[in-house]
Amino acid sequence: MSVEVERATVTCNACGAHVTELRRGRCWACYMKWAEMRPVPRGALCALCTDRRRENLRLVELCGRSVSLCHLCAARLHKMADVPLTLDELRKSLCRNRRNAERRDGGLDRRIFPRERRVGDRRSPPWDSARDASDTSEMLPDFSDLEIIIGDEDIEEIEQTLVREPPRR
């Protein structure tokens, strides 16, 4: 003799399906569609690896907050068994160890004109406090008071180049 147990169900606000669990008032299928459709803010970057390519970014819920992450960091986050509570702890757990230390120690420089090509640390993210904020080598000068006026005499007409077939012999 089998006994049927009725489970309590709730109705999805989006599609009306009766399910046992809702996330933000939606069933899991509607929630996944909604999560994929949310636009990433303009100027966003991955909170973990600072990737700025907009086609790679997506909004991911992390501890009840929406955080912009790239596809790779989001996939690595979803595979983690226990997710750290802060972004700093998450960065430390997902960092790539080979990028942390200098790898050119002790080798001879065999170039004809040896010079340091890597001035400053280009790999440090903007939230890294070790990066020197007073370094102005990467800053552009302020041209807010510069005005360029172009008159009709400054514009010259250029003849178009015509491409012709070579003469046959």
Tell me: the pLDDT tens digits for 87-104?
Answer: 888 888 877 655 566 666
Query: Is the pLDDT at 139 greater than 70, yes or no?
Result: no
Confidence of residue 168 (pLDDT cuts 50, 70, 90): confident
Query: Is the pLDDT at 31 greater than 70, yes or no?
Result: yes
pLDDT digits (tens, 9 = 90+) for 153-167: 877 777 777 778 888
pLDDT at 140: 58
Query: Is the pLDDT at 143 greater than 70, yes or no?
Result: no
Write out the chain in H/E/C secondary structure: CCCCCCCCCEECCCCCCEECCCECCECHHHHHHHHHHCCCCCCCCCCCCCCCCHHHEEEEEECCEEEEEEHHHHHHHHHCCCCCCCHHHHHHHHCCHHHCCCCCCCCCCCCCCCCCCCCCCCCCCCCCCCCCCCCCCCCCCCCCCCCCCCCHHHCCCCCCCCCCCCCCC
pLDDT at 126: 60
- 0.85 surpassed by pTM: no
pLDDT digits (tens, 9 = 90+) for 51-60: 888 888 988 8
What's the average model confidence in pLDDT over 110-139? 61
